């Protein structure tokens, strides 16, 4: 592993994620301002401010902890019904904040305090620009703008890769020899150099060469790699007569396959089964496609991501168990930005890994993070963007129902009442983030 390349990989990944965060927040800010909303802050990161500059009514800046970002849109929370319609202002136009102490419980007081904090800086001039007063569809556009940008970033990267390099997740194995193993290495030690004690591979004994295309195996025609693989494995340690196409002419070769434990279950690569072994690797190509193909693949990926989200708490618990040493960390466990940076560094510094494949892997990693972040933010729970979108859609629905039933306008949806849910979700996200970051430092996911 080359330290300089490792650092460059980490820096490239972090820079790409920070750029994605910045574009995500622009996805919120630009439509908010276009609809007349007032945006007072645009920040990348959390915690202490490292740098900021005010332009117009908006302060732009960078904070110390690069794990997210935010824009402050004025008037996200409406006033409670006690004050709605008769907001008080002082002689300077600033709202007079009257915090009502609640005797109904902690959450009620938290809601009241949140409203007060929301309205502390609102002036009479801001009344027509408050977010909660926007039409429901404008709220949807503003709140969906951020995660939509992440999905568009993923689409552009995936689309470029699929159109040029191909899709590594949609590979085609051809019945043509790409590599001939010189010896038989145990599956657990796959990748190491041959030792004098290792037996010569049956493929080497037969005289197979790179570029040979399999025509038949023991008289059975071979149409694709799946056919060839099945014939080899089922042959156990029997004699093998192999016909190949070599440069336009057919060549007949003879050898004996041998039984050796190999991974045969794609869902569990650690499970080994004694099967027939020849010692060749097939030529692999990746399926290419345009925008429609990219949309189809992202749809499949969305389904996989939805299933992953449903099992996220269980998988995070698995990471916690790995930290405690109860069991090894699963290869498919979720990772934080820290884990993503480590994977990017290991990819960039990996030896015997062509530069082209390194770039493809890094771009795929960045696209994957953007895709997941975009989908995750559409989850209809506060404080995620999807929670505000759900509130706007509910507002549209109940106002539409009221019109159909000739009932009075029920007014704006009070998302402040869902703040207890937001606090619970935010607490879970905080705990999850800490567990994943610690896990990525203590028991990181390794490149396969």
The structure tokens listed for 66 are 């690069």
Q: By the 8 A CB rule, do 176 and 208 touch?
A: no
Distance from the Cα of residue 126 to its chain's centroid: 38
Residue 48 φ/ψ, nearest 5 degrees = -65, 145
Nearest to 253 by CA among 221, 222, 212: 212
Within its chain, how far is the Cα of 11 from the centroid? 18
Query: Are the beta carbons of 73 and 28 closer than 8 angstroms?
Result: yes
CA distance 419 to 115: 10
Residue 249 phi, psi dihedral angles, 5° rounding: -120, 150
3 state SS of 42 = strand
Pair 417, 390: CB distance under 8 Å: no
Cis, bond preceding 383 (omega within 30 deg of 0): yes
Task: Give me the sign of the Cα torsion angle 411, 414, 415, 421.
Answer: negative
Q: Determine whether 78 is exposed, middle or buried from the number of CB atoms within 10 Å of its CB (0-12, 13-18, 19+).
A: buried
* DSSP H/E element including 61: strand 58-73
Which residue reads 């009514």 in tokens?
57
Joined together, the tokens standing for residue 409 give 């306008």
* Helices (runs of H) and strands (runs of E) counted in the chain: 11, 10
Report d(CA 390, CA 425) in Å as an integer.
Answer: 15
- Residue 442 DSSP code: H
Q: Mind telling me the catalytic residues?
A: 25
Between CA 179 and CA 283 the distance in angstroms is 8
């Amino acid at each position: 592993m080359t330290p300089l390349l490792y650092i460059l990989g980490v820096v490239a990944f972090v820079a790409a994620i920070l750029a994605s965060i910045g574009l995500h927040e622009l996805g919120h800010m630009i439509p908010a301002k276009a609809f007349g909303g007032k945006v007072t802050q645009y920040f990348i990161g959390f915690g202490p401010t490292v740098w900021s500059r005010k332009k117009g009514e908006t302060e732009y800046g960078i904070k110390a902890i690069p794990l997210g970002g935010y824009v402050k849109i004025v008037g996200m929370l409406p006033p409670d019904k006690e004050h709605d319609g008769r907001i008080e202002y002082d002689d300077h136009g600033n709202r007079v904040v009257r915090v009502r102490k609640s005797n109904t419980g902690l959450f009620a007081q938290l809601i009241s305090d949140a409203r007060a904090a929301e309205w502390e800086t609102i002036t009479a001039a801001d009344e027509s620009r408050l977010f909660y007063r926007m039409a429901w569809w404008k709220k949807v556009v503003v709140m969906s703008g951020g995660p939509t940008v992440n999905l568009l970033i993923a689409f552009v990267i995936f689309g470029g890769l699929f159109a040029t390099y191909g899709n590594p997740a949609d590979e085609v194995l051809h019945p043509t020899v790409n590599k001939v193993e010189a010896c038989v290495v145990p599956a657990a030690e796959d990748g190491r150099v041959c030792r004098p004690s290792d037996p010569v591979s049956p493929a080497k004994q037969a005289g197979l060469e790179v570029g040979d295309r399999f025509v038949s195996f023991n008289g059975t025609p071979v149409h694709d790699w799946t056919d060839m693989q099945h014939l080899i494995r089922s042959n156990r340690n029997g004699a093998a007569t192999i016909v190949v196409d070599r440069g336009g002419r057919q060549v007949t070769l003879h050898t004996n396959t041998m039984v050796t434990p190999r991974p045969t279950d794609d869902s569990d690569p650690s499970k080994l089964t004694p099967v027939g072994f020849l010692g060749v690797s097939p030529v692999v190509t990746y399926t290419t496609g345009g925008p429609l193909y990219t949309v189809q693949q992202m749809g499949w990926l969305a389904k996989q991501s939805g299933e992953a989200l449903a099992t996220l708490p269980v998988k995070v618990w698995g990471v916690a168990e790995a930290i405690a040493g109860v069991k090894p960390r699963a290869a498919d466990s979720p990772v934080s930005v820290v884990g993503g940076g480590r994977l990017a560094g290991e990819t960039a510094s990996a030896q015997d890994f062509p530069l082209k494949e390194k770039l493809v892997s890094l771009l795929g990693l960045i696209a994957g993070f953007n895709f997941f972040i975009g989908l995750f933010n559409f989850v209809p729970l506060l404080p995620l963007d999807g929670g505000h979108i759900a509130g706007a859609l509910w507002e549209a629905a109940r106002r539409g129902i009221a019109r159909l039933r000739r009932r009075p306008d029920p007014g704006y949806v009070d998302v402040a009442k869902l703040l207890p849910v937001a606090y619970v979700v935010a607490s879970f996200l905080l705990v999850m983030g800490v567990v994943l970051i610690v896990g990525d430092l203590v028991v990181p996911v390794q490149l396969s």
